[in-house]
Structure 1
């Protein structure tokens, strides 16, 4: 069962994407994706140009990192992400000269699929819908045939409208990005998904569709979590993937619109992933809108530029359901940051589970969230995988529906950490 929740998108939905003045110092994490941190390719004191490679992908699930501005490397040291986790980070003092590294522009139509994948890998593109999985690896099909590319424009999280703004204001670039990707995938059909509340975008896409005969639009109900990969596949194609099967094994690939726009930037313009679109919103924000921010921009810088204060407020990086609380406002926006929300602080009264089963009913992965909380609370961590905790997508539908306000998401996230610790101890 999926839920209908208040969208709260009206404050920002029609706002044009605006630029934020660059910060004097950018803190660029070398870990902005699932997997391992990139290795620095520059030294302290070295001058860097905008778009220059400053972090080299390292083993398996890793991704390149590029300089979002020109300037001087002040330091390379551990620095907190928004949730307080310390990761290797480059401090770049901005010289405000915007001196760009030279790059050669190719006609992408003349490139081979392998060359396109190489440019995507080189640009450090990762999934911008939240997963932050290296995109070049997702397009490496190992002989699998893709019949359907699903372009995820659903954006089902409340408050967030950055994807809406992208689709409305960069429609042509998005469609060109889709064509670039399909030169690799050779999909037979391409489906752009939109929620019912955003169906006016059909008119925006309409002029571009005659030139893109493989593309069609599909309107989906305003439900949560509609935008999850497996949920989207079920909504569009009518089948549910087994948990141990990858979408490509059934001939399907899903990409967020932000990721596809970054592919266009990388392949058609040779611009690596150094900025992204975000939504600023929430009841305690005095300003609302969609903004383009450079990766490495401190959250506190955006607040200062817009004359906002974090004092006495709860800050969430991302959406209210799957986002993370900002424990460290001087931390930076990263490639997976979709929004910044400001809420008033409030005390949540936690009560014991009453075994109502609502959390089981709404779980899109058919799990038993109340068992995760019970097992975590009692310290029997070895039982977590018995209830398939690793299959949880952390959509927070369970905690949203819980009448007792049981801290389900906290137990899920901490439980996953415990599973990793146990696995490491066994090795």
Structure 2
């Protein structure tokens, strides 16, 4: 069962994308998909804008680049959020990047550039994009552009589709050189149906054949498996790799980062986010450097950092996380910063109503995760398929007893990971 969740999305979706002023300090996150990034710099080093400062190797290789020129003043690999701290010199002195005509790039060169420029999935999971697009010569029938943006409050993807349309379509053309999909389909919610004619008109100008699939205004419609089912009618098994079924899904923000990489020679050093929430001032969509601390963002929109009077969430209200350190930075998967009222209700025990099971898009039983996480029962967590959970937060939203289900899920997964 999917849910309709009211929010302030309509207040921000049509606001112009504004560039947020740079922060004096950047906290470049070293977390990556599967493995941490290894710093390539030392404390005291001077770095240039776009310079690679960390990387990882292997199938899920990633890299991190400096959004500013400045000085490395700290490297924290053992802290709660490992990071490289850069003092911004506000000179924006750029490293030279050898440019190559986009038209003459081979498939291998495209994938290598995506890898070297640190492009990851911007929808939250941060899966390395070069790995996703390396389909190993599989026949791809559907290239699905995930424009559902079903998380309440968030509207950055809408803003990109509406304001950066040509950039988005040119990125799709480039990716098509690699995956060669038979069909290109945008999945967008019905509440944004005005985008349909806008996207089709711009695609026609560039001679790109696309389709638009209007989706219900429900959550979690933007989940990969839910989106694939809505667009293609195929219900993929849990844990499936979409390419094995002839499908590639890409987030709008990821494609915008690809455009910046190939047409502006810029690594993934900034992204577009939504700033919103009932306690927010100056709501809207903003271009923000990766590594920007949330406290700086709040300062720029006229709010103090004060967790006593407000709850600050990095990401969306469902899959995002409440943050309690002002230095917590924007990462490549951060779709927004929300400033919400503090919850006033207390947490009570599970009443076995089953609502959490009813709304789970993976058909799981979240109340059992809470029970067996409390007991540290690893075997039962495996039996109830905890690892199939996509952490959408639907169970926590619907729970009438406010059982801390998401906390149990995250802690339970950590138990399984360390077992």
Determine if contact 2:152/2:316 at 8 Å carries over to the other structure: yes
**Secondary structure in 1 matching 2:77:** strand
**Higher mean Cα deviation, 165-174 or 352-361?**
352-361
Q: Distance in 2 between matches of 1:324 and 1:20?
A: 22
**2:221 paired with 1:226:** yes
The CA deviation at 1:79 is: 7.2
| Deviations 1:248-299, CA, capped at 9 Å, x for gaps | 1100010100001111111222210000001111111122111111011111
Match of 1:308 in 2: 303
Aligned counterparts, 1:99-138, within 5 A: 99-138=93-132
Q: Offset of 1:153 from its aligned partner?
A: 0.5
Superposed displacement of residue 105, structure 1: 2.5
Alignment counterpart, residue 182 of structure 1, candidates 176, 183, 196: 176
Task: Note if 1:26 corresponds to 2:56.
Answer: no
| In 1, Cα distance between equivalents of 2:351 and 2:30 | 44
1:356-396, Cα deviation, whole Å (9 max, x unpaired) = 22211111111111111111123323210101000000111
* TM-score (normalizing by structure 2): 0.96
State the aligned residue count.
416
What whole-Å deviation, never above 9, does each CA across 1:171-224 have from its counterpart, x for those lacking one? 000000000111000000000111011111123213222234431111111011
Distance 1:350 1:49 in 2: 48
Which of 269, 272, 276 aligns to 2:267? It is 272
Tell me, in whole angstroms, the C-alpha distance in 2 between the residues paired with 1:410 and 1:209.
43
* Among 348, 366, 378, the residue aligned to 1:381: 378
The alignment status of 1:336 with 2:333, answered yes or no, reads yes
1: CA distance, partners of 2:369 / 2:73:
44
Give the alignment partner of residue 255 of structure 2, picking from 245, 252, 260: 260
Change (3 A) 1:106 1:233: same
Contact 1:190 1:214 in 2 (8 A): yes
**CA distance in 2: counterparts of 1:418 and 1:55, whole angstroms:** 28
Say if 2:376 and 2:415, in contact at 8 Å, map to a contact too.
Answer: no
Task: Structure 1 unaligned segments of length 5 or more: list them.
Answer: 423-427
Question: Residues 244 and 96 from structure 1, CA distance in 2 versus in 1: closer, same or farther, beyond 3 angstroms?
Answer: closer
Quote how far apart the aligned CAs of 1:313 are. 0.9
**Alpha-carbon distance in structure 2 between the residues aligned to 1:169 and 1:330:** 30
Report the counterpart of residue 425 of structure 1 in structure 2. none
TM-score for both structures, normalised by structure 1: 0.94
Helix, strand or coil at the partner of 1:279: strand
- For the 8 Å contact 1:105–1:269, the answer to whether it is kept is no
User: Which one of the candidate residues 203, 224, 234 is aligned to 1:239?
Assistant: 234
SS at match of 1:10: helix
Residues 1:170 and 2:164 are matched in the alignment: yes
Q: Could you give the per-residue CA deviations for residues 14-50 of structure 1, whole angstroms, max 9, x where no partner exists?
A: 111111111112111222x212222222222222111
Q: Does 1:144 align with 2:106?
A: no
Unaligned runs of 5+ in 2: none
CA distance in 1 between counterparts of 2:216 and 2:297 reads 34
The 1-side partners of 2:144 and 2:378 are apart by 37
The separation in 1 between residues aligned to 2:12 and 2:208, in whole angstroms, is 32
Structure 2 residue 52 is the aligned partner of structure 1 residue 57: no
> Residues of 1 paired with 2:288 and 2:10: CA distance?
22
Give how far 1:158 is off: 0.4
Computed over aligned residues only, the root mean square deviation of the Cα atoms, in angstroms, reads 1.4
Q: SS of the residue aligned with 2:403?
A: coil
Matches for 1:32-111 after TM superposition, within 5 Å? 33-78=32-77, 85-87=80-82, 89-111=83-105
Instruction: Confirm or deny that 1:13 pairs with 2:13.
Output: yes
